[in-house]
Amino acid sequence: MSERTQVTYGPPAKVKFEMEMITDTAGCKQSGGSGASGWGYNQSNIIRCGEEVYAMSWRDDLTLTVFRRVGPGQWEASLPLPPVPQNGNLLVDSTGHLHVIAGKQASYHVVFDPPGQVKRFTMEQYATAESRFGASINAKDQIFVAGGLANMTWYVLNPKDGFRPMASGVLQHEKHRGYNMVIFNGAEVHSVNSDDYFIKGDQYPNQSVTTRDPQTGELRTVETPRGIYPVLNAYYYYCPDIFKSPDDWRMTVTSDVSDTFDGTARGTTDHQDIMLDAQGLVHLTYYENRQPSTTVWAGKGQDQMNSSVYHAVGKPGGPFTHFCVGKAFNSCRVTQTPDGRFHYLLTRGGRGNAEGVWYATGEAGQWDRVSEPIRLEIPSRLWHFFVNMTRSGGTRAPVIDCYWTGAYSQNSNEAWYGRLTPEG
């Protein structure tokens, strides 16, 4: 692993933070899925296109709905999209048309036409990738989609041919890896993912999962076979030209805690975000907690105060310089405003039940110095936190558009929009 530098904190930044509820009925019907508002921290749920802002959540726990902000606290909703086993990716193209990549193995593509509305759409099914997929759109409105587990299976949709596939491929993994986040920039592709495999064994605990019975509404507990998910590595992939050299994938291990694994107890890591800045540099964020844990997911048995979030910066393909942005955090989104400044949105606490969100900012090139993180006031614990991203076609704006839901199995029926305006 590369040497990692602890950042120096400067004075806290001044910021205006406004929020409003999008809906309080998301994921509430319990029709056989998870009963939540969304799933997959690797996917995009909020996007800005000029002055338009769109969001997406599950209407119930199997069908997605897209929302358009029509005024402060006012959101119009689309009709439900076809049922899906997991959340989708919200994209916008250069003409302002909204797109959704969703369905089993990223198998359907929705286009809202005309732009600027969420009432009328068409759907096509021309290609499949795999589960735990991510999607990105380039300046030519070509869409790259990649999913995993045993493989990173990918395809590219061509806008000049009705968004039919123009390229596809499969990259074999040594072990299962999932939750792909991708960037499609011209013909180059960037992707990040983490270990996502299961080890069975009598020495491991059962995992107890509590869900509501879709027929009775009563809580029930289901136990899985004995085993653990040892998430010991996070990875970065780079392909310089997906059209000319579709098999030229170069992989870098960005985080490695495998030395903590003694066969039962181990630490954990996870990729968190990927961003391409206005200067063409790649930014990765990931977290580590090296405290040994024997629970099915290591994070469930760890003290979250032992977690650290890292920010890695480098040219396309690497190498990367790594910085520790903060301790006691385990999630981080990074974005850039038109003035060149970088903004970090960090969360603290267990996945699905984070206790809050913190904000910090820094100048381009001064990666070893950021403002002291300040806590943003939100009404409850939360699940995943999302921001508008240029990799999804989003407009880079002086405000940062945010989205989150309440905590998993608690108030995740509440979907929220936040607008963060840096001051000074």
CATH assignment at residue 146: 2.130.10.10
Confidence of residue 33 (pLDDT cuts 50, 70, 90): low
| Helix (DSSP H) and strand (DSSP E) numbers for the chain | 0, 35
Exposed / middle / buried, residue 306 (Cβ in 10 Å: 0-12, 13-18, 19+): middle
CB-hemisphere CA count at 13 Å for 227? 10
The mean pLDDT of 385-389, rounded to a whole number, is 97
Using an 8 Å Cβ cutoff, are 274 and 190 in contact?
A: yes
pLDDT at residue 385, as a whole number: 95
Runs of H (alpha helix) within 168-232:
none
Q: Considering all CA atoms of the chain, what is the largest pairwise distance in Å, rounded to the nearest integer?
A: 57
Exposed / middle / buried, residue 188 (Cβ in 10 Å: 0-12, 13-18, 19+): middle
Side chain identity at residue 405, one-letter code: T
pLDDT tens per residue across span 196-232: 999 999 999 887 777 666 667 677 787 778 999 999 9
Mean pLDDT of the chain: 93
Find the domain containing 111 and state its range. Answer: 4-423
Residue 206 to residue 197: CA distance in whole angstroms: 16
pLDDT at residue 100, as a whole number: 98
Q: What percent of the chain has pLDDT over 70?
A: 96
Residue 182 to residue 144: CA distance in whole angstroms: 8
Using an 8 Å Cβ cutoff, are 57 and 27 in contact?
A: yes
The mean pLDDT of 160-185, rounded to a whole number, is 97
Q: Report the domain count for the chain.
A: 1
